[in-house]
Amino acid sequence: MLQAPSLAHGFHGLMYDNKTESMKTINLLQRMNIYQEVFLSVLYRVLPIQKYLEPVYFYIYTLFGLQAIYVAALYTTSWLLSGTWLSGLLAAFWYVTNRTDTTRVEFTVPLRENWALPFFAIQIAAVTCFLRPHLRPLPERLTLLAIFISTFVFSLTWQFNQFTMLVQALGLFALDSLDMLPALKATWLYMTQISALLLVCALQFLNSMILGSLLISFNLSVLIARKLQKNLKTGSFLNRLGKLLLHLFMVLCLTLFLNNIIKRFLNLKSDEHIFKFLKAKFGFGATRDFDANLYLCEEAFGPLPWNTLGRLSDTLLLHAYLFVLCITVPAALAIALRNLSSPTQPPLGETERCTVSLGPDTTYNLTHTIVFGALALSTMRMKYLWTPHVCMFAAAGLCSPEVWGLLLKVAHLYTPARVCVLRFAVPMAVLLYLGWEFWPGVMDELSELREFYDPDTVELMHWIKHLLPEQGGPELRPALSSLLSVGNPVMGLTKTLKSFSSNTPGTAVFAGSMQLLAGVKLCTGRTLTNHPHYEDSSLRARTKAVYQIYAKRPPEEVHTLLRALGADYVILEDSICYERRHQRGCRLRDLLDVANGHMMDGPGENYPDLKPAGHPRFCEEIKRDLPPYRALFTRVFQNKTFHVYKLSRSK
């Protein structure tokens, strides 16, 4: 957007992009969640900062600033739940001291989740305020507007928004069914989610993955089922329990029916790999599907490691969290049982007259932390949705008069003075411990200066984009030496390099692994056969075809597959060809062998229907430079990690 001569040219280039995927023109605004970068480019053009701040630093500082907003949202939510700013301070301290498990922004800055999760935290704060009892009409409308805006921005900036909000909607549905939330407010929250997603769908040029999301089908099903079952919350315990089970069954059937109809109508296959992954992960049958196994074999999509809980214990966060859960969960269960047992619908505003009481805002956050905790325990990558909320909820619980009041009532020691002392003394003691134990380490880490170091990758990128000095011949080397005496050697080097042709033309198409090709695009601007945006079914098919370079396939077949995608060069990585990071059965070459019906390498069991391959592994055999390979592939670059081959134009 900044390199374009105008904003109109920039938008046109994004909507009709033919420089990213080979042999295709795609709409990047539809396919990817990049509106945040578009907004920043407009802001950078408008603000008078071009002379003082480079675009990359403007980008990084914006994202780091968003993390400050993230912590502020956690602070606000904790304050709203507990009624004291002390809990907000404790939540912020816990977030910082547990930063290894609460955020990935320090080492992977431009992740979509780093854009989205601050707005998700704002949405949770707004929902917490919205669910507070006795909220006046004007603040209620303003809070609902804040929920809509934050939900919309969250959805616009992250492609996995629908799955996150589906988990949130399931929690709302459970509370609504058990009469622990005001029915009208629950309806508004369902409708806000739907309207925000539909607006995002319109901005993404009717992105079919959004229209076919389970979230839209589920929320519509809940609203329809509620209309059909008007007397759901009346009757005796057994009567209400029967109605509730019927309601659950109706919502489930309606959700599956609506989602199936929408996907059939749209011919949607973009998210099928996610459901295959979930089916295999939770034990509903093994799968040989290549796409699903790519997720299953990654450590990030495995269960939460025990050392994570150890790190959370070191800062006393896990202890405080479990303490708060041990008090609030039984209280919430008692309230749910009381609501089901009452013959008529209990008034939500009169819970203070009961011995056990939790406000709708507290029960919502309790449900939120439990459902996202279950998600994090099953899938490690999801911990970044859970651990920040753990910081907030544990801090709010330690400062909450509700929590300490319930505990002291059970122990028959309740007095308002004791509640007041405990809700301030315990958090202060924890803050003093965190400051004494961890603050010096935080300051030391801030003083560290780190540098990216990957010489093989840097050499590869330079080779693709420029002619390396040692390859420049006698004409280039004296020219480079003479630049040492020039006043501006960088400008001179740029002009000198421009006078020599690069190793690859600017229109060259590269094939290789998804992660490496993303770097090739960023560093060199070359066109790619595939890249890591795995939410597109056609791109998944391209990736599987390209990855045959690591399978047991003859050179003619590999050449045909790559040329069909327009590839001019292919990059082979020794770290993939001879991979040892994963165990047998999870190496990329094993996944390809199983998908192709071939037996895996090495000692160990194989599926009984797998057969020996008729050809050696391509990535190993091509390095022998035998005539069948040499006729189709010419090695043009090599270092300790990468091997680049140029494809012949025809067989």
Nearest to 271 by CA among 217, 226, 344, 349: 217
Distance CA 311, CA 612 (A): 46
Residue 352's pLDDT band, with cuts at 50, 70 and 90, is: very low
Lowest mean pLDDT among 460-469, 475-484, 522-531, 556-565: 475-484
Lowest mean pLDDT among 16-20, 315-319, 353-357, 439-443: 353-357
Lowest mean pLDDT among 153-162, 214-223, 481-490: 481-490
Per residue in 506-546, pLDDT (tens digit) is: 999 999 999 999 999 999 999 999 998 888 888 999 999 99
Lowest mean pLDDT among 215-229, 488-502, 527-541, 625-639: 488-502
Q: Are 346 and 233 in contact (CB under 8 A)?
A: no
CB atoms within 10 A of CB 482: 12
- The 3-state DSSP class for residue 528 equals strand
Nearest to 622 by CA among 548, 549, 568: 549
Distance CA 251, CA 223 (A): 9
Phi, psi of 572 (to 5 degrees): -100, 140
Q: Is the dihedral of CA 181, 117, 204, 21 positive or negative?
A: negative
pLDDT at residue 343, rounded to an integer = 57
Establish how many alpha carbons lie within 13 A of residue 566's alpha carbon, considering only the half-sphere containing its beta carbon.
16
Give CA angle at 276 (270, 279), nearest 5°. 140
Angle formed by the axes of helices 55-82 and 85-97, nearest 10°: 130
Residue 293's pLDDT band, with cuts at 50, 70 and 90, is: confident
Mean model confidence pLDDT for the chain: 88
Which structure tokens are listed for 249?
Answer: 């069954």
Per residue in 372-410, pLDDT (tens digit) is: 999 999 989 899 999 999 999 999 999 999 999 999 988
With a cut of 90, say whether residue 9 has pLDDT above it. yes
% residues pLDDT > 70 (the chain): 92
pLDDT at residue 238, rounded to an integer = 85
More confident residue, 554 or 291: 554
pLDDT at residue 54, rounded to an integer = 94
Which structure tokens are listed for 375?
Answer: 């998600």
Distance CA 74, CA 117 (A): 11
Q: Length of the chain in residues, anyone?
A: 651
Compute the average pLDDT of residues 555-570: 96
Token pair 């399978």: residue? 551
Per residue in 607-643, pLDDT (tens digit) is: 888 898 889 999 999 999 899 999 999 999 999 999 9
Quote the distance between the C-alpha of residue 604 and its chain's center.
35
With a cut of 60, say whether residue 479 has pLDDT above it. no
pLDDT at residue 650, rounded to an integer = 67
Distance CA 513, CA 547 (A): 7
Token pair 């680049």: residue? 644
Lowest mean pLDDT among 358-362, 558-562, 598-602, 604-608: 604-608
Distance CA 59, CA 521 (A): 18
- The 3-state DSSP class for residue 429 equals helix
With a cut of 60, say whether residue 351 has pLDDT above it. no
Concatenating the DSSP letter of every residue in 615-645 gives S--HHHHGGG--HHHHTTEEEEEE-SSEEEE
CA distances from 639 to 516, 573, 623, 624, 635 (A): 15, 10, 13, 16, 11
Residues 6+ positions from 437 with CB-CB distance below 8 Å: none
Distance CA 318, CA 383 (A): 14
pLDDT at residue 358, rounded to an integer = 85
Quote the distance between the C-alpha of residue 34 and its chain's center.
14
CA distances from 603 to 551, 573, 579, 583, 592 (A): 18, 24, 15, 12, 17
Question: Facing residues of 638 across strands?
Answer: 643
With a cut of 80, say whether residue 207 has pLDDT above it. yes
Residue 6 Rama label (left phi>0; alpha psi -120 to 50; beta): beta
Question: Facing residues of 647 across strands?
Answer: 633
